[in-house]
Amino acid sequence: MNNKNVSRKSTVKASSDIALIKYWGKKDEVLRLPENGSVSIKLDGLDTVTSVEFGKDFKSDELSIDGKNIEINSIEAKRVIKHLDRIRGLAKEKGLVGYNQFAKVVSKNSFPKSTGLSSSGSGMTALTYAAAKAIGLELSEKELSILSRQASGTACRCAVGGFVEWLDGDTSDTSYSKTIFKKDYWDIRDIVAVVDYGKKKISSTEGHTTAGSSVFFEIRQKNIKQKIEDVKKFIEKKDFSSLGSLVEAECLEFHSILLTSNPPLVLWYPGTMQVIQEVQKMRTEGIECYFTINTGFNVHVLTLPEFEKQVQKRLSNLSLVKETLVAKVGGKPEYLKE
């Protein structure tokens, strides 16, 4: 097989997601097999667009993110290059011409990165889709989800669209994501309250390694399968109150684990608490909305279309909120025309 006539460049737009049931802890660090399955919603509006071009004249891999050239020895660049090497390895196995060429990667996010908004999920998914296409690999959605997973757990889910379940699996081939409901199944909105733009001090990758040190981790694992079933049932029934209550409880359980890990991870900022209290207040006034937070300080507030404007206004008016971003349920990654 050869790929002489295939374009060596591809550009992909991938959306981030918000986990309703969180992925926390890995049973296999190298393969990135999670301790438990997770469920998320893709977020159209929190997107990464990445171009990957392979070329025989390139002397090394090059990476630019949000207009800045990233130093090739930085942790960020090394993670990208490791993934490019994985993809080059697959191309070599398939006997594709130019499998060993260096790549130029240019990536742009529509939202602040490294602040707890899963930019590694959308970023690594876009990288996987674009690099695989540019190098000439023909992979199924399942294969792309498995490949994305090895770069970032969240990317395993971002590789598919709509309402997503990541099956934890015991082997690399059985740990992948699938769409459980398509994006048009239910119109949910996510208003993201940005309370800080600074890079979070602990990455999720580091945090995962201490998950098991919390005394609550074992209890979480006992109940998580049932929680996943419940969340899927509430989505199927479009029962927003039950879904929102479960999602908030899950967020608080997840942060209880962070707080009681060794070393403890205290990630919230004063603005995080201000948003939580406003969400609780809005609910007493009949405005249905629920919060959830990943490993960071910025807050996702889930609501229904009829409350979107009110929720956004209330959150924007808070003294510690710097910006609000609105997302709808997103689809699968898209190849863009050059």
Query: Across-strand partners of 303?
Result: 189, 289
Q: Closest approach of Cβ 266 to ligand DP6, in Å?
A: 15
Identify whether the C-beta of residue 323 lies closer than 8 Å to the C-beta of residue 273: no
Whether the CB-CB separation of 286 and 168 falls below 8 Å is answered with no
**Applying CB under 6 A, does 42 fall inside the site for ligand DP6?**
no
**Partner residues linked to 40 by β-bridges:** 19, 164
Report the DSSP pairing between strands 102-109 and 62-65: parallel
Check the CA dihedral 200-201-203-209 and report its sign.
negative
Give the residue nearest to ligand DP6 (CB): 153
Q: What is the dihedral angle through the alpha carbons of 273, 162, 106, 98, rounded to the nearest 10 degrees? A: 140
When binding is defined by CB under 6 A, the residue of 64, 110, 114, 205 that contacts ligand DP6 is: 205
The contact pattern for ligand DP6, residues 294-323, with x = CB under 6 A and - = no contact, is: xx----------------------------
Q: Does 22 bind ligand DP6 (CB under 6 A)?
A: yes
Cα dihedral 205, 209, 214, 215 sign: positive
Q: Give me the least distance between CB of 12 and ligand DP6, in Å please.
A: 18
Among 32, 183, 189, 232, binds ligand DP6 (CB under 6 A): 32
Name the residue nearer to ligand DP6 (CB basis): 24 or 111: 24
Site for ligand DP6 in 222-241 (CB under 6 A): none
Token digits for 307? 């409350």
Tell which one of 38, 107, 122, 145 touches ligand DP6 (CB under 6 A): 38
Q: How many helices (H) and strands (E) does the chain have?
A: 9, 14
Query: Which residue number, 23 or 217, has a Cβ lying nearer to ligand DP6?
Result: 23
Site string for ligand DP6, 89-128 (x = CB under 6 A): -----------------------------x-xx-------
Amino acid letter, residue 6: V
Residue that the structure tokens 């004249």 belong to: 57
- Name the residue type at position 77: A
Q: How far is the CB of 76 from ligand DP6 (least distance, A)?
A: 12
Q: Is 153 in the site for ligand DP6 (CB under 6 A)?
A: yes
- Which residues of the shown chain bind ligand DP6 in the complex (CB under 6 A)? 19, 22-24, 32, 38, 118, 120-121, 152-154, 204-205, 208, 294-295
